[in-house]
């Protein structure tokens, strides 16, 4: 982008020049989530440019030294920080500041999309957050209506208590890797004729960790974590629906080098019910009644998600009529109201009639009972 076309970084993030670091970070988190291309099914290229613009602004304003130079000299003060081609994704050094919001929505580091693992991507030899875990569970519709607590056995890695996650034996500590000086990367230069090719890869000595351990912990063998199956209680709220996602903080995989553990996401799947069909907070059920009940009216007992309830059938009820029982549906999560139960009436017609029943029905028809509104000649049976 031409320097003349670039927008002021404070304007890009929508903050004042006097904004503190927390305000700058908060503004960036909001805009980064808004403009990430995975949140846009259309205009992804435009969204990526916006995302890149706000990331460039944050890279400068979140760094006190770069911010001071920008405030004093404008774009010319920080032009050299991004090389001759201007800001590139590998120039972004604040992934840890915002990785939590992107992990929630996209299941990993959002910046993997843009860095691709190559170029000048920086590695962090300090503490690193553990990976998130996902567990899918099935519950019945009745359990979804009432809410329940389930006990789950979760196999995952946990921080080694012997070395407190360092991977080193007690009394010793990891050392900065002498090969890569703690960067976790090594540079290889190859010459071909008059050309020079530079490639950057993970350090073979420390496997990209930036640290080496002379005396590994005997319990975790230098890993800093051990495998364990933890028994965890998860509370599924009343009103849970298909796809409801519950987050259990810190129950994922252990972090590296003493970093925090990831989270466990429990995804709820509600089984189909043989009696009720669910549409959001509302339930639908079918109820069969005799044609005499439909014609004369009656009071019947029906099944609801809460148990038995009575419902009045008015005289002259037609097939397919739907009655609503207010407040007999599914609760909303968080206690914000309850849906309704819609009862769809199906009229049962007897398949076999004895002689007396046939005679009475014929008399009923001849008396005008077989026509709509008692009018003869409408839908009259051929004799």
What pLDDT is recorded for position 41? Answer: 63
What pLDDT is recorded for position 364? Answer: 85
Name which residue leads in pLDDT, 124 or 133.
133
What pTM did the predictor assign? 0.58
> What is the b/e burial string over 12-49, where b = at least 16 CB atoms within 10 angstroms of the residue's CB?
bbebeeebeeeebbebbbebbbebbbeebeeeeeebbe
| pLDDT tens-digit map of 82-100 | 544 455 544 455 555 555 5
Q: Where are the beta strands (DSSP E) in the chain?
A: 133-139, 148-159, 175-176, 185-192, 195-202, 211-212, 225-236, 245-248, 264-270, 277-279, 282-290, 298-304, 307-313, 322-325, 341-348
CATH number for the region 1-122 comes to 1.10.287.110
CATH number for the region 277-349 comes to 2.60.260.20
| pLDDT tens-digit map of 154-195 | 999 999 999 988 889 988 888 889 998 888 888 887 766 556
148-159 and 133-139: which strand pairing? unpaired
CATH architecture of the domain 123-174+213-271 equals: Sandwich (2.60)
Query: Which residue blocks in 308-375 are alpha helix, DSSP H?
Result: 355-364
What pLDDT is recorded for position 336? Answer: 80
The answer to whether the 1-122 and 277-349 domains have the same CATH topology is no
**Spatial distance between the Cα atoms of 164 and 170, rounded to a whole number of angstroms:** 9
Burial of residue 104 (CB within 10 Å: 0-12, 13-18, 19+) is middle
What pLDDT is recorded for position 333? Answer: 87
Instruction: Give the single-character DSSP code of 207.
Output: T
What pLDDT is recorded for position 376? Answer: 45
Q: How far is CA 91 from CA 58, 255, 375, in A?
A: 11, 25, 85
Query: Could you tell me the two tokens for 367?
Result: 């008396």
What pLDDT is recorded for position 72? Answer: 85
Domain ranges in the chain are 1-122, 123-174+213-271, 277-349
| pLDDT tens-digit map of 211-268 | 888 899 999 998 889 999 999 999 999 999 999 999 999 999 998 877 899 999 999 9
What pLDDT is recorded for position 232? Answer: 94
pLDDT-based confidence at residue 275 (cuts at 50, 70, 90): very high
Query: Could you tell me the two tokens for 76?
Result: 């010319």
């Amino acid at each position: 982008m031409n320097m003349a076309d670039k927008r002021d970084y404070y304007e890009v993030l929508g903050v004042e020049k006097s904004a503190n670091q927390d305000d700058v970070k908060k503004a960036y988190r909001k805009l980064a989530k808004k403009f990430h291309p995975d949140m846009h099914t259309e205009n992804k290229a435009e969204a990526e440019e916006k995302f890149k613009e706000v990331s460039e602004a944050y890279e400068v304003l979140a760094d006190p030294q770069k911010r001071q130079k920008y405030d004093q000299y404008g774009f010319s003060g920080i032009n050299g920080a991004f090389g001759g081609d201007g800001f590139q994704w590998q120039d972004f050094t604040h992934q840890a500041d915002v990785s939590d919001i992107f992990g929630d929505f996209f299941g990993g580091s959002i910046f993997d999309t843009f860095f691709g693992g190559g170029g000048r991507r920086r590695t962090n030899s300090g503490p690193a957050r553990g990976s998130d875990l996902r567990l899918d569970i099935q519950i019945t519709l009745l359990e979804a209506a009432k809410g329940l607590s389930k006990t789950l056995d979760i196999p995952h890695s946990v921080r080694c208590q012997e070395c407190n996650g360092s991977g080193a034996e007690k009394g010793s500590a990891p050392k900065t890797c002498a090969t890569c000086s703690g960067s976790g990367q090594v540079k290889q230069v190859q010459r071909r004729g008059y050309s020079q090719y530079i490639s950057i890869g993970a350090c073979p000595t420390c496997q990209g960790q930036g640290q080496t351990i002379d005396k590994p912990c005997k319990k975790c063998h230098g890993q800093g974590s051990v495998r364990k199956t933890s028994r965890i209680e998860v509370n599924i709220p009343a009103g849970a629906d298909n796809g409801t996602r519950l987050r259990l903080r810190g129950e994922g995989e252990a972090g590296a080098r003493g970093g925090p553990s990831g989270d466990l996401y429990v995804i709820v799947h509600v089984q189909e019910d043989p009696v009720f069909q669910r549409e959001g907070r509302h339930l639908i059920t079918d109820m069969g009644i005799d044609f005499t009940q439909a014609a004369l009216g009656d009071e019947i007992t029906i099944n609801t998600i809460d148990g038995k309830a009575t419902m009045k059938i008015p005289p002259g009820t037609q097939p397919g009529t739907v009655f609503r029982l207010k407040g007999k549906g599914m609760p909303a999560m968080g206690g914000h109201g309850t849906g309704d139960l819609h009862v769809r009436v199906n009229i049962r017609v007897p398949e076999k009639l004895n002689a007396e029943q046939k005679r009475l029905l014929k008399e009923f028809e001849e008396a005008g009972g077989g026509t709509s509104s008692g009018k003869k000649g409408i839908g009259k049976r051929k004799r």
